[in-house]
A and B are shown apart, each in its own frame.
Chain A
């Protein structure tokens, strides 16, 4: 028990008030902990308040004083012990060209699994379409009604029919924005579904593969391979990997929840992957913004307006560029081995 509480409070109050004031300045950005002299002074104030809290903690009395000091020490703890966390400001270009590809490569296993699931789904979708057209309504979602109502050849004939006016004129930007909105929402949900131990992410990736496989086999069987590549490659070369990246994030989350191959606790596992999840989500969103622009402004034009070789070349270059970006960007020069 503190024999003279009145004196204790009167003596320590200026320290507490100064700490409170300085923490407020740090929070408001008016003072910086990068100043060594200042941070040492703040640390001394914080340590003294911590000692005062420890001094009164042995007793059940003085609840108001205890609550005040706990609040003060808690605030000080958050500011001082987090100082190294936020010392670097967010740099968008560095994040995009270094952090994102590094994260992608660090969690490459998740991307590989996402690709495998999509391929297995694509095989099933292809097999279902090969076995007859009756199941097409069940495979294709309602927004792909044109894939059910007409054969690929009919659609190609309609798309390639010469018209006097640009049918996309006047609503390309709107269409592009709607594509971005829809694709980003769906992809981020695939990531968020990782919280179901990855089960719903697996289902989404598999179903996405089923649709892709069904569409591809449908067009191939109808002899429209060139149209298929010309239609899908320009935006699909970015859009499909973006969905796989989001799925990668969902699988990373699912694995962290299950805890395979790691001795860490659940909280530690989740803490370790949180920055990666945010980065993968952001990366997928950026990719889908690009895909949305290409799909609305480029993919919807077909021969004779836009020759297929141009579209296929553009899409192939995009894919090569994306692979190079994801696998090569942000690689640091390997350190020289010790002599």
Chain B
């Protein structure tokens, strides 16, 4: 396991597969902390009338219990949230972050306790200066509490498999009328070129209109250079549709292929 320069944590599983976890940066972590701070303060304000009532009605005992409740809420809220929400606090949920073991495993309760115990050292001398500096120079963005507890804060990204079927299915592919030219196209297009074209289609919605026009124009011209299809076959096809047809030709299931 090692950390790459692009703020990801590389983990190799016993199954022989490596995967990476995107690490949270200091800014998002600071935002999450601020949200937690505001939430805890708001919660304290909400329960303040209850604590005051306890002090008034319960006398000395009520006052003692109120002090302890306040202490536990202030010191233990983050710890409790990370314990029960699987490494997340309210702020981390909002910012899409999660604390986890640096080897990719689930958090142990002792890790949650230790990383929160050391929080006050990270906060020295003020505004998380020490923890922030340590995290900046650490390849895993770990503050002192994370280093001691063996934890990292990662970004939780909701991912879905690309809908390649939707990209390739649907419209009629006029290139199919020329199987021998399709075979030549498959022969001439390299794997990297094919993947670039497929990615362009899968991620077309992420591109600006100008970038989309330029990209598909370049790709279509490149593929037109590789194999010349009869003019009547490609007449009226937009650059994007041309690329779509090429990709469908390359990735289409052929007899005996898998």
- B104 in the interface, Cβ–Cβ < 8 Å? yes
- Write out, one digit per residue, whether chain A residues 198-223 have a CB within 8 A of any chain B CB (1) or not (0): 00000000000000000000000000
Cross-chain contact A174 with B67 (CB below 8 angstroms): yes
Q: Which residues B202-258 have CB closer than 8 A to chain A?
A: 202-203, 251-254, 257-258
Which single member of B68, B86, B120 contacts A177 (CB below 8 Å)? Answer: B68
- A253 in the interface, Cβ–Cβ < 8 Å? yes
The smallest C-beta distance from A62 to any residue of chain B, in angstroms, reads: 7
Cross-chain contact B257 with A81 (CB below 8 angstroms): no
Which single member of B64, B147, B258 contacts A174 (CB below 8 Å)? Answer: B64
Q: Which residues B10-32 have CB closer than 8 A to chain A?
A: 11, 13-21
Stretch at the interface among A63-71, A118-126, A320-328: A63-71
Stretch at the interface among A127-135, A147-155, A224-232, A269-277: A269-277
The smallest C-beta distance from A270 to any residue of chain B, in angstroms, reads: 6
The smallest C-beta distance from B146 to any residue of chain A, in angstroms, reads: 10
Q: Which residues B92-119 have CB closer than 8 A to chain A?
A: 100-102, 104-106, 108-111, 113-114, 117-118
> Which A residues are CB-close (under 8 A) to B159?
64, 67-68, 71
Cross-chain contact A54 with B195 (CB below 8 angstroms): no
Cross-chain contact A278 with B198 (CB below 8 angstroms): no
Instruction: Name the prevailing secondary structure of the A interface residues.
Output: helix
Which single member of A57, A81, A193, A281 contacts B18 (CB below 8 Å)? Answer: A57
Which single member of B106, B149, B162 contacts A274 (CB below 8 Å)? Answer: B149
- B63 in the interface, Cβ–Cβ < 8 Å? yes
Cross-chain contact A191 with B117 (CB below 8 angstroms): yes
Alpha-carbon separation in the docked complex, A63 to B257 (Å): 23
Q: Which residues B166-211 have CB closer than 8 A to chain A?
A: 168-169, 191-192, 194-196, 198-199, 202-203
- A259 in the interface, Cβ–Cβ < 8 Å? no
Alpha-carbon separation in the docked complex, A193 to B108 (Å): 22
- Write out, one digit per residue, whether chain A residues 242-285 have a CB within 8 A of any chain B CB (1) or not (0): 00000000000100000000000001001100110111011000
Cross-chain contact A50 with B13 (CB below 8 angstroms): yes
- B50 in the interface, Cβ–Cβ < 8 Å? no
> Which B residues are CB-close (under 8 A) to A64?
159-162, 202-203
Cross-chain contact B150 with A192 (CB below 8 angstroms): no
> Which A residues are CB-close (under 8 A) to B86?
27
> Which B residues are CB-close (under 8 A) to A305?
none
Cross-chain contact B148 with A81 (CB below 8 angstroms): no
List the 3 shortest-distance A-B pairs measured between CB atoms, nearest first.
Answer: A61-B195, A173-B64, A278-B110
Residues of B within 8 A of A (CB): 11, 13-21, 59-61, 63-65, 67-68, 71, 75, 86, 100-102, 104-106, 108-111, 113-114, 117-118, 120-121, 144, 147-150, 157, 159-162, 164-165, 168-169, 191-192, 194-196, 198-199, 202-203, 251-254, 257-258
Sample 9 A-B pairs with CB under 8 A, ordered by A number.
A62-B198, A63-B199, A77-B11, A77-B104, A170-B59, A173-B64, A189-B120, A274-B111, A281-B113
**With A170-B60, A278-B117 given, can you name 19 additional A-B contacts, CB distance below 8 Å?**
A6-B251, A6-B252, A47-B15, A54-B17, A61-B192, A62-B162, A64-B161, A71-B159, A77-B105, A81-B105, A86-B106, A174-B64, A180-B71, A193-B121, A195-B147, A274-B149, A277-B114, A277-B148, A278-B113
